[in-house]
């Protein structure tokens, strides 16, 4: 029976850590680490309570430990970390206690014999069922945490969760006199209250997630519409530019015709070498880079890339595109990929404009179930503080900047199969997004990293 009780304590600790991890979005931490952490935490907590007799440590130490863990992962600000620590503690405790009570009374009504170790075994079985259910629903739990961050009901649910936490301290057989007196007077009522409030809380969260999801979808559609309009604007500009070029080229042909008629070989040579040959090379190069986008089969990505390439070419930058094979799918959410790609290319264009070489390179390819998106830009100053690039509000471009790389780093941290790396060498700055294919594209199971094979498509 002691074994089952110890196992139940470890499973409870693991459940709290795992639910907190999912809500906060720190999926890059392995479950093995959380298992070891739950064992260590259970042992230390048991020793602390046994030595001090302070039962309130069950709740307070757990919340404090979760806040420290969340702060170290840097998956959110302190308010969000505290919120998800309180929320995971309350929800897991209420669900666990409710299912344990239900399972216990159902077993008493069953024909099975009752032994002294029966409650302990029932507790272990119930906890395993909860953990399996959390694992199956892990993607939905992660999305719930993501939507709650931007929800208008964040503050009201925060207040409700804080109130439920106080109720937990009171019904948990406290040793503090004030809490103990409240437990004796209102313990049963508070237990019923916290159950009812938790149900209401889950309904509010569901409604909040639904509203936030609708708002994000609307925002995404608006963003895609703006990108489409930007794309149309760029096409109109290219059409006008082509019309101007055609007019100038016709005038040039008239001049050339006059030189041919007068058999002025020197003038013909001068017109060809000074105007026709360079112009033809420029036009062919710009068209060639845009035609490579035909290998991108995802319309949203193709649209964004075409707009960025045309923008760079309008700013007189040399653009190189490397897409050696068709790209039929992405190994991450399309919306998240577009956000990351847009920030990387925009930054590359801004930096390349300030350099002497004025060039950018964009590569997108797949090698051994791993996709690579590489964005490089020329630069004159090879000394960049790479460690600070992803810090909030840090930028090499001046004040009121530095949110782009910070935001895409947060996006990458929410995907266990995504790696974002940075490098600088030989007057080129490189950002590399590595996306590993998962067994199921909707799963979030971590995958072991394979060796970097980008040398096969090394950008020059």
Q: What are the DSSP calls for 318-382, one per residue?
A: EEEEE--S-B---SS-HHHHHHHHHHHHHHHHHHHHTSSS-EEEEEEEESSSEEEEEEEEE-S--
Residue 132's pLDDT is 93
Q: For residue 178, give both structure tokens.
A: 């004030």
Residue 459's nearest CA partner among 428, 416, 419 is: 428
Q: For 50, what's the count of Cα atoms within 13 Å in the CB-facing half-sphere? A: 6
Collect all residues with Cβ–Cβ distance below 8 Å to 156 and sequence separation of at least 6.
204
201-205: list long-range contacts, CB under 8 Å, 24+ apart: 201/90, 201/91, 201/157, 201/160, 201/161, 201/164, 202/91, 204/153, 204/156, 204/157, 204/160, 205/144, 205/148, 205/153, 205/157
Residue 381's nearest CA partner among 354, 345, 403, 346 is: 354
Phi, psi at 334, each rounded to 5°: -60, -40
Average pLDDT per consecutive 10 residues, the chain (460 residues; last block may be shorter): 81 87 74 75 76 76 86 80 90 88 86 82 91 88 80 84 86 77 80 83 78 70 70 64 66 72 75 62 55 82 84 85 89 85 90 90 90 90 59 49 64 79 83 79 38 38
Residue 88's nearest CA partner among 9, 36, 17 is: 17
Residue 235's pLDDT is 62
Entry pTM: 0.56
Q: For 103, what's the count of Cα atoms within 13 Å in the CB-facing half-sphere? A: 19
Collect all residues with Cβ–Cβ distance below 8 Å to 229 and sequence separation of at least 6.
none
Residue 391's pLDDT is 52
User: Has domain 298-457 been given CATH number 3.30.470.10?
Assistant: no
What DSSP letter does each residue of 111-172 carry, written as one string? SS---TTHHHHHHHHHHHHHHHHHHHTHHHHHHHHHHHHT-TTHHHHHHHHHHHHHHHHHHS
Residue 286's pLDDT is 55
**Domain boundaries, given as residue ranges, for the chain:** 2-218, 298-457
**Cα distance between residue 209 and residue 385, in whole Å:** 39
Which secondary structure element, helix H or strand E, spans residue 422, and what is its range?
strand 418-425
Residue 89's nearest CA partner among 11, 183, 162, 5 is: 162
């Amino acid at each position: 029976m002691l074994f089952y009780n110890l196992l139940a304590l470890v499973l409870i600790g693991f459940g709290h850590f795992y639910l907190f991890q999912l809500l906060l979005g720190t999926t890059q931490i392995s479950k093995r680490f959380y298992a070891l952490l739950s064992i260590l935490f259970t042992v230390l907590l048991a020793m602390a309570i046994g030595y001090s007799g302070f039962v309130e440590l069950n709740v307070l130490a757990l919340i404090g430990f979760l806040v420290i863990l969340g702060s170290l992962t840097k998956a959110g600000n302190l308010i969000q970390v505290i919120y998800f620590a309180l929320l995971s503690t309350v929800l897991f405790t209420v669900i666990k206690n409710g299912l344990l009570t239900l399972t216990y009374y159902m077993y008493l009504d069953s024909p099975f014999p009752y032994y002294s170790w029966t409650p302990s075994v029932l507790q272990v079985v119930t906890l395993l069922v909860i953990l399996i259910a959390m694992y199956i629903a892990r993607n939905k739990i992660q999305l719930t945490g993501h939507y709650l961050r931007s929800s208008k009901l964040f503050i009201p649910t925060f207040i409700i969760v804080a109130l439920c936490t106080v109720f937990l301290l009171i019904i948990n057989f406290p040793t503090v006199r004030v809490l103990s007196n409240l437990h004796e007077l209102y313990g049963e009522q508070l237990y019923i209250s916290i159950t009812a409030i938790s149900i209401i809380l889950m309904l509010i969260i569901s409604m909040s997630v639904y509203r936030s999801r609708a708002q994000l979808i609307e925002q995404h559609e608006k963003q895609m519409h703006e990108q489409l309009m930007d794309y149309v604007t760029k096409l109109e500009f290219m059409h006008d530019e082509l019309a101007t070029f055609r007019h100038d080229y016709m005038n040039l042909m008239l001049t050339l015709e006059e030189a041919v008629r007068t058999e002025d070989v020197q003038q013909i040579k001068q017109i060809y070498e000074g105007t026709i040959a360079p112009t033809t090379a420029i036009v062919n190069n710009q068209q060639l880079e845009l035609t490579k986008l035909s290998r991108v089969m995802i319309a949203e990505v193709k649209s964004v890339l075409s707009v960025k390439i045309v923008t760079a070419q309008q700013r007189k930058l040399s653009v190189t595109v490397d897409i050696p094979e068709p790209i039929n799918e992405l190994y991450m959410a399309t919306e998240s990929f577009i956000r990351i790609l847009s920030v990387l290319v925009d930054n590359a264009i801004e930096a390349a404009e300030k350099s002497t070489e004025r060039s950018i390179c964009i590569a997108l390819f797949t090698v051994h179930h791993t996709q690579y998106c590489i964005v490089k830009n020329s630069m004159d100053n090879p000394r960049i503080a790479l460690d600070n690039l992803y810090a909030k509000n840090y930028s090499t471009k001046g004040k009121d900047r530095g949110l782009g790389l910070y935001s895409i780093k947060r996006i990458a941290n929410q995907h266990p199969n995504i790696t974002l790396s940075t490098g600088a060498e030989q007057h080129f700055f490189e950002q590399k997004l590595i996306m590993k294919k998962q067994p199921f594209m909707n799963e979030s199971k971590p995958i072991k990293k394979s060796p970097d094979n980008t040398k096969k498509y090394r950008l020059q």
